[in-house]
A and B are shown apart, each in its own frame.
Chain A
Amino acid sequence: MCGAPAQGGTLAGVDLATQTVIQGSVWHDGTPVAGAYVRLLDATDEFTAEVVTSPEGEFRFFAAPGTWTLRSLSPIGRAERSVAADVGLNETTLAIA
């Protein structure tokens, strides 16, 4: 497998003692944004991965500890934020202004 699995849903089967999971959802005007493209950029702003949000607006990455940037693209606009991730679950929200 190389494309992204379905976004959101349970973390069953994911070992949070070893994996660095960065997950969250994209919002606009109080509603989740489905079908947004969320890009994960590393500390040097280099592209690392991209997923498409679930019907509930969710995204999830398997990264490594460190500082990352999340950027979402969609027809209604874009959003961006920085995340300092540690091993385990790192949750965040992207809000499109």
Chain B
Amino acid sequence: MSRNDVLVTADWAQENLGKPGLVFVEVDEDTSAYDKGHLEGAVKLDWKTDLQDPEARDFVDREGFSALLSAKGISNDDTVVLYGGNNNWFAAYAYWYFKVYGHRDVKLIDGGRKKWELDSRPLSSDVVERPATQYSAAEPDTSIRAFRDEVVAAIGTQNLVDVRSPDEFAGKLTAPAHLPQEGAQRAGHIPTAVNVPWSKAANEDGTFKSDEELAKLYAEAGLDEGKNTIAYCRIGERSSHTWFVLRELLGHENVKNYDGSWTEYGSLVGVPIAKGA
């Protein structure tokens, strides 16, 4: 896996809109941006209503994901090209999610919606309808998804990467600064985790930094390539961004995203918590 297999430029995306075998998918938490204007022919996925189970705190199950993609007109053989707002957080989350369910060919548009808009590229408000398919999701691949017990077991033994902002890591904030401060019962971070904010992997326009810059970033943070890695944030979407960097761009093996993240860990009874930088 390398950058060219998993990342496309905005130029490439614009030249390939509407090409058979490619499905452009915008992923956001707030889909009003899509409704106002989206890439020509792109379908939308709502991070919450489409990808989260309405009752349990979990994914939609295999049947649910198959039904969702069938209804969106996505086939197993299609190349799915994802993009979204928030510097591609939710698109990266969807990328990881598509991989959990075994979709073969998935790519991200470098820079996502932000770069597209800053470049003043064309957006369409046309309603997109694709004929339904018979999508068949694979069994969930838990080799890329971490659960709480393995996170606790990883303290002091594996790489834990906390990708939240320094103030969230230190325990001064419990949520990103564009949100009211709420979420977990306790503030702080998982002991022995290193803090490499997701934003350090991205340029100001939302594109990813170069492979050389990224490799240096995580090496300097003390990530041991001989160990397994678990990335986490608050609810698992910013850490998907870092999971994408470590596994898909830098080719590290055995990288998991902990989607329970701080909202779960910071509310667990009896686990250790560290504070400060």
**A61, B177: Cβ atoms under 8 Å?**
yes
Residues of A within 8 A of B199 (CB): 46-47
The residue among B47, B176, B235 with the most chain A CB atoms within 10 A of its own CB is B176
Residues of A within 8 A of B89 (CB): 2-3
- Contact, CB under 8 Å: B87 / A50: yes
Closest Cβ–Cβ distance, residue A40 to chain B (whole Å): 5
Contacts A48-B176, A64-B167 hold; do A75 and B204 have CB atoms under 8 A apart?
A: no
Q: CB distance A50 to B86 under 8 Å? A: yes
Q: Nearest-CB distance from B251 to chain A (Å)?
A: 25
Within 8 A of B (CB), among A38-79: 39-40, 42, 44, 46-52, 60-64, 73-75
Provide the residues of chain B in CB contact with A74, threshold 8 Å: 118
- Give the 8 A-B CB pairs with smallest separation, nearest first: A3-B29, A47-B199, A49-B177, A49-B178, A4-B178, A63-B177, A75-B120, A48-B177
Collect the chain B residues with CB atoms within 8 Å of residue A64's CB: 167, 172-173, 177
A13 to B198, CA, bound (A): 30
- Give which listed residue, B33, B48, B117, B197, contacts A75 with CB less than 8 A: B117
Residues of A within 8 A of B175 (CB): 62
- The docked-state distance in angstroms from the alpha carbon of A5 to that of B85 is 13
Are A42 and B118 within 8 A (Cβ)? Answer: no
Q: Which residues of A contact B (CB under 8 A)?
A: 1-6, 14, 18-19, 35, 37, 39-40, 42, 44, 46-52, 60-64, 73-75
Q: Tell me, yes or no, whether B205 is within 8 Å of chain A by CB.
A: yes
Residues of A within 8 A of B29 (CB): 1-3
Q: Which chain A residues lie closer than 8 Å to B238 at the CB level?
A: 2
Total contacting residues, chain B, CB less than 8 A:
38
If A37-B114, A64-B173 touch, whether A3 touches B197 (CB-CB below 8 Å) is no
Greatest chain A CB density within 10 A among B85, B172, B177, B178 is at: B178
Nearest CB in chain B to that of A22: its residue? B177
Taking A64-B172, A75-B117 as contacts, is the C-beta distance between A3 and B86 under 8 angstroms? yes
In this assembly, does B180 line the interface, its C-beta being within 8 Å of a C-beta of chain A?
Answer: yes
Contact of B117 among A2, A35, A44 (CB under 8 A): A35
CB distance from B134 to the nearest CB of A (A): 32
Q: Write the B52-78 contact mask toward A (1 if CB under 8 angstroms, else 0).
A: 000000000000000000000000000
B169-199 contacts to A, CB under 8 A, are 172-173, 175-181, 197, 199
Does B165 sit within 8 A of A, measured CB to CB? yes
Determine how close the nearest CB of chain B comes to the CB of A76; give it in whole angstroms.
9
CA distance A52 to B114 in the complex (A): 9
Task: State whether A2 touches B85 (Cβ < 8 A).
Answer: no
**Using Cβ atoms and an 8 Å threshold, which residues of chain A touch B179?**
1-2, 4-5, 62
| Interface pair A47/B165, CB less than 8 Å apart | yes
Residues from chain A with Cβ under 8 Å of B178 in the complex:
4-5, 40, 49-51, 60-62
Whole-angstrom distance between the Cβ of B223 and the nearest chain A Cβ: 19
Could you tell me if B30 and A3 are in contact, using CB atoms closer than 8 angstroms?
Answer: yes
B238 to chain A, nearest CB (A): 8
Q: Is B24 an interface residue (CB 8 A)?
A: no
Instruction: Give, as a whole number of angstroms, the nearest-CB distance from A48 to chain B.
Output: 5
The reply to whether B165 and A14 form a contact with Cβ atoms under 8 Å apart is no
A42 touches B117 (CB 8 A): no
CA distance in complex: A39, B177 (Å): 10
Nearest chain B CB to A75 CB, angstrom units:
5
Whether B212 sits at the interface, judged by CB under 8 Å, is: no
Residues of A within 8 A of B205 (CB): 73
